[in-house]
A and B are shown apart, each in its own frame.
Chain A
Amino acid sequence: MSQDPTVRVERWTLQSRISILAAAIILAILATGPFFFGNNAIDKLTTLFIYVILAVTWNALAGYGGLVSVGQQAFFGLGAYAAVRLADAGLNVYVSLVLAAVIIAAVSLPISSFMLRLRGGEFAIGMWVVAELCHLLVNLDSLVQGETGTSLIALNAYDADTRHALNYWVALGSMTAILVILFVLLRSRIGSAIQAIRDNEEAAASLGVRVMGTKRIIYVFAAFGAALAGALWLSTAITFQPKTYFGVQWTAYMIFMVLVGGLGTFEGAILGALIFFLIETWFGGSGVWYLIGLGATALVFSLFVPRGIWGWLERRFGLGLLPLGYRILGVPSATRMQTPDDGGIGAAPSVGTP
């Protein structure tokens, strides 16, 4: 193809340049938030940032890596627990939050070495077993006092306004960092490798893709994200009750966000987090029916709209806000490359129609 003078491969489009600029402007405006908003709005937005982290990292694992885990609450809970422990040891609270996520990412490395040998549903439930075990082991710690739990008392060092603002900035910074890391990862060789593995592990291996190493990078990244989200959640909730943090409902939220937004699309996970945030704000009070609705929506999307709202928009309007894939321009229409129209998750998300 490269010999053909009429063909040009393009990565940065005008659309993607504009959207990157827009994203930077939005983040810059958000950064000034605490100067304008009240504590209530600040807390709400902090929650949204945490949801984005959860959705984006779960999507990295499931949507790009093809590894559906129903046990990411293991890292969510461990992240919060490690933060409690570090703060209890006298470390600055906000340093503890970030350091906790780094430690848990390190912990996830040995876990990955045998969880990643499992495939499909076995990996999914295997991770759930890991989460249950982590929950039970954390309960044994006398500092946590079983299900009674404990609190991040060290946060008392800050007055209420400062605390809300710091939580907000740390969450915003973390979200930005996670998005940038994933963006860079997906544009690198690893991004192509992990999607190749998702689509066909044997074929990828035969082309010389390092299957285990690549999977491990994405697994540790997802664990880091979940742990960071857990630690940040702790900073807003203050109390640490193991049952809340290690609950499988976190997985339900992540699945909902990613399925509705768009499995395997970068923008979709963010959109999903936003949708989930709005739905929770409006219907969160309706208790059980809200959860039934979440489960039913996830079920319907998985069956009928497997690429979510963003995947649908992308195909319908040829959208591609972020320069993650390649666009091929000037191809004669007979040989024009098109997005495979199989509707499955395996469809290459990065090849856009010119």
Chain B
Amino acid sequence: MMIWVNQIVQGILLGGYYAVIACGLSFMFSVMRMINLAHGSLAIVAAFALYVLADQYGFNPFSALILVLPAMAVLGWVLQRTILERSQRGGMLVPILSTFGLSIVLDNLLFEQFGADTRSLAPFIDELSYDSWTITDDLYIGKLAALTFVAAVVILGGLQLFLTRTQLGRSIRATAEDPDTVGLIGINAKRVNAAAAAIALVTVGIAGAFLGMRATFDAYAGGPQLIFAFEAAVIGGAGSLWGTLIGGIVLGVAQSLGAQISPQGFLITGHIVFLAVLFGRLHLDTIGTKFRKTVRRSA
């Protein structure tokens, strides 16, 4: 019994990581109405950057973030101005195709540079990678996992405050509503979108750091991270910030329980729960429509 409780707790904590990686994807979707298929690959780029700084230059991964996060922000800005902005003008299909092309380029450049070896940032953060608080004999909470979860809450809360309380945040929301009309009230939609992409990539950088610390990664690890981020974002309701955290937790708990059933269960259960939520939502929509129709008819 305690084993299951422990698995659920671990799943919730894992959900914190998924929320971190999913919030950038969800944020970009809500602002620019596009899904960046290079999202996962960019997180791996950040993880490798942190690895190089830690391994070659002796940085602690946390202090290395001071260098990597601004670099990710610049990358986001440049990416938006050079590729994404242009692709969005081509209609709905082009962003999918161009960001997929970009992910292939990034993955294989990383492979070219770093080879097939798996890396981890765990050796550079000493006891934080394995330390935990023991609650009972069967229940423990890893310090890194707890830190990730807290970071997720802080990032989501920070984004929420930023979007509601700051001028730029309000501009981003206005641009998301109607990119053409905001020009009339003196907002430069291109700059606002570039700023949003920069912010999204900062969260991607943080996700890359946590991924590197809690697990191993290699050049081709971007694809699975994109899928997890997407699943968490969709389960939580694409475009909703706090929904991302709930989506992450649902995905994390599903995977964690699945892993307890069988070794392959981790991924399978995650995907099945994702599809079930998707199916359920569509089904509920149909029931909802029928219900509304019935109400209207009787009224």
Contacts and interface: CB of A to CB of B under 8 A. Distances in A.
Contact of A125 (B37, B83, B94, B108): B37
A292 B37 contact: no
Contact of B87 (A255, A263, A303): A303
A295 B101 contact: yes
Contacts of B37: 70, 121, 124-125
A68 B96 contact: yes
Interface stretch (A34-42, A128-136, A309-317): A128-136
B217 interface: no
Contact of B108 (A114, A292, A306): A292
A296 interface: yes
A291 B108 contact: yes
Interface string A40-79: 0000000000000000000000100010101000000000
A124 B103 CA distance: 14
A283 interface: no
A325 B104 CA distance: 35
Interface in A110-134: 114, 117-122, 124-126, 128-130, 132-133
B94 A303 contact: yes
B101 A345 contact: no
A122 B237 CA distance: 12
B99 to A, nearest CB: 9
B218 interface: no
A289 B109 CA distance: 8
B75 to A, nearest CB: 16
A137 B264 CA distance: 9
Contact of A133 (B94, B101, B272, B282): B272
Contacts of B92: 66, 119-120
A130 B271 CA distance: 8
B96 A129 contact: no
A263 B227 CA distance: 26
A122 B86 CA distance: 20
Contacts of B102: 295, 299
A344 B90 CA distance: 6
A232 interface: no
B91 A346 contact: yes
A252 B35 contact: no
Interface residues of B, number: 45
Contacts of B103: 295
A194 interface: no
Contacts of B278: 114, 118, 126
A259 B97 contact: yes
B274 interface: yes
A345 B94 CA distance: 8
B277 to A, nearest CB: 11
Contacts of A126: 234, 278
B101 A136 contact: no
Interface in B78-97: 83, 86-87, 90-97
Contact of B109 (A132, A263, A292): A292
A303 B108 contact: no
B133 to A, nearest CB: 33
A16 B34 CA distance: 39
A132 B87 contact: no
B90 A120 contact: no
Interface string B263-295: 010011001101100110010000000000000
A248 interface: yes
Given A132-B267, A136-B267, A291-B108, A122 B101 contact: no
Interface string B225-268: 01100110010001000000000000000000000000010011
Contacts of A343: 90
B62 interface: no
Contacts of B95: 121
B111 interface: yes
B98 A121 contact: no
Contacts of A129: 227, 230-231, 271, 274-275
A298 interface: yes
Nearest to A297: B101
A350 interface: no
B161 interface: no
A104 interface: no
Nearest to A252: B104
Contacts of B96: 68, 70, 120-121, 124
Contacts of A344: 90-91
Contacts of B108: 288-289, 291-292, 295
B101 A299 contact: yes
B105 interface: yes
A214 interface: no
A59 to B, nearest CB: 12
Contacts of B111: 288
Interface of B: 29, 34-35, 37, 83, 86-87, 90-98, 100-105, 107-109, 111-112, 223-224, 226-227, 230-231, 234, 238, 264, 267-268, 271-272, 274-275, 278-279, 282
Interface of A: 62, 66, 68, 70, 114, 117-122, 124-126, 128-130, 132-133, 136-137, 139-140, 248, 251-252, 255, 259, 263, 288-289, 291-292, 294-300, 302-303, 306, 343-346
22 contacts: A68-B96, A70-B96, A114-B278, A120-B35, A120-B96, A121-B35, A122-B234, A126-B234, A132-B224, A132-B227, A133-B268, A133-B275, A252-B104, A259-B97, A291-B104, A292-B105, A295-B104, A300-B101, A302-B87, A302-B97, A303-B90, A306-B94
